[in-house]
Amino acid sequence: MSATKAKAKNSPGLFSTLKTAVSRGRRLVVIGVFLAIVGIGWWLSWNRVRDRVLSDGDYHLNPREMVITPLPPWIHADVKTEVIRDASLDGSLSILDDDLTKRVANAFSLHPWVAKVQRVSKHHPARVEVELTYRRPVAMVEVSGGLMAVDAAGTLLPSEDFSEAEAKKYPRVARIESHPVGLFGAPWGDVHVTGAAQIAAALGDRWQPLKLYRVLAPLRPGASPDVDGYTYELTTHAGTRIIWGRPPGSEPTGELSALSKVRLLEQIAAQQGSLDSIGSPIDLRSGDAAAARTAVKPPSGS
């Protein structure tokens, strides 16, 4: 069979393929036109009822009805009211606003008591729920004129939220020569404040039972023969000196961890009845039992 006859014989298959492709293309065009008509119709309908829907109480949100994570006992400020005021969220809000959750999250993230905005969710009828993680004070930094609260990361907290009696319950941080570099909710900006705050956080609720009073920031190198420029100390109300060492997580080889130091301090307090009864310094840095031995009561009658 010649090439010409073979080509003629195969031509009907080619024409059939082209016809099918054209038919499919036409169907796609028809579907596209149909969807465009539906979209335009929806848009026109929405424009006619938009104002009525947006004003419907089921979509309109009163900002004061936002639900936030309950405040912990150490926060006395009205966080929600302050956020609404400072972020100008006291106007008309609608859960149909696509940017609403982002606006609310950004507003709460700026409050000094808020460590993290975990989630913001919208619900119908109009309701917004905000899940927050709050900052927790661990110490009061002694400054000229008073005390300033910080959390475990050395973040400056609103000090006016604490009464004088409440402030006395927290560890005091002394020998700090710097001033905060930012506003409330921002880091203090001094590694010595951060280190002291970490130590206060490691001691946690044990602070008061152990009758501890201050965390002392490191002295300048050479200012004391038994400490270096990275060594923190603690003192009790009666003045017992406790050499703590480096902040948690930065201990050099051979120095006890923060948890081990706390346990050793509790052991010494149990042996003596009180850390206030110890006259000589207690060194918590060593991994041997030297610190514990210096704190053991002498035998009776000796």
The model carries a pTM of 0.75
Contact 77, 149 (CB under 8 A): no
Output the tens digit of pLDDT for each of the chain's 302 residues: 555 555 545 555 656 665 666 666 677 676 766 676 766 765 565 466 555 555 556 778 788 889 999 999 999 999 999 999 998 887 778 888 888 999 999 999 999 999 999 999 998 888 899 999 999 999 999 998 899 999 999 999 998 899 999 999 999 999 999 999 999 999 999 999 999 999 999 999 999 999 999 999 997 665 565 566 689 999 999 999 999 999 999 999 999 999 999 999 999 999 888 898 887 789 999 855 444 445 444 444 43
Euclidean distance between CA atoms 30 and 36, whole angstroms:
10
DSSP state string for 174-213: E------SS-TTSB---HHHHHHHHHHHHHGGGTTTTTEE
| Residues found in the chain | 302
Contact 134, 167 (CB under 8 A): no
